[in-house]
Amino acid sequence: MSNPKVYLVGAGPGDPELLTLKARRLIDEADVVLYDQLVGEDIIATLPESAELISVGKYAGCHTVPQEKINELLVEYAKRGKRVVRLKGGDPYVFGRGGEEAMELARHGIEVEVVPGITSAIAVPASAGIPITHRQCASVVSFVTGHEDPTKGEPSVDWAQLAALGGTLVVLMGVSRLAQNVEALLKGGRSPSTPCAIIERGTRRDMRVITSTLDRIVERATDANVRPPAILVVGEVVGLREHILHGERT
């Protein structure tokens, strides 16, 4: 038997055409695919019937399979000589717990190859007509999780510092704590009139974009019944959306 190996593959933000060529090839060659729901229905529908397909769930706050069990499955199938693909939404190493899985596999002597994916932090705003940088209004971009691990003790995200930093802020997995995160940004000094967008199911056929200002985005999101997966974009770049999509002059 060859040395056991697992491929940690990024599926991108959900549009099947945004899969990399390497990701597509490895998926089609796999014996076993363990996939998250964040991968998206359109990609899940293309998984090979010849492979053993295992849904391991995962939306923020709703993990149908605990991380420890996922780790066990990866180790078990790899040691049985299976060609294992661990398919994750976005990029495996951007708030995807890919680092945890890679470390666990390495601890068992299993080789890991990471196949980067297009992160939703960049692709989703772009698909909604929002450039996350712009020479005139955003030379700094911050990526942050809106849902920290509750078991690690004190939170490590300094929202006041992020508010003071300015530029563009992209919050992933922030729907469940949207009100608390927005309140923290306002208390930290971010202007209430800062343009914001919540993008639900970005790059997919049923994508929705809700825009407002920082002081009203929670109300707008509640009225629209926004559900995961969705990201929050905060910054002046959101105001460029109408110009880009509809040709309005600055």
Q: Which of 1, 28, 58, 103 is catalytic?
A: 58
Question: Helix or strand or coil: residue 223?
Answer: helix
Give, in degrees to the nearest 5, the angle at Cα 15 between 170 and 134.
35
Q: Which residue of the set 15, 36, 88, 91 is catalytic? A: 36
Q: What is d(CA 110, CA 241) in angstroms, rounded to the nearest whole number?
A: 45
Q: Does residue 58 carry a catalytic annotation?
A: yes
DSSP state of 237: G
Q: Which of 15, 88, 91, 173 is catalytic?
A: 173
The per-residue DSSP string of 164-211 comes to HH-SEEEEES-STTHHHHHHHHHHTT--TT-EEEEEESTTSTT-EEEE
Quickly tell me which residue has 């490590």 as its tokens.
156
Verify whether residue 36 is a known catalytic residue. yes
In order of 40, 183, 216, the CA distances from 197 in angstroms are: 21, 16, 11
- Quickly list DSSP for 14-37: S-GGGS-HHHHHHHHH-SEEEE-G
Active site (catalytic) residues? 36, 58, 173
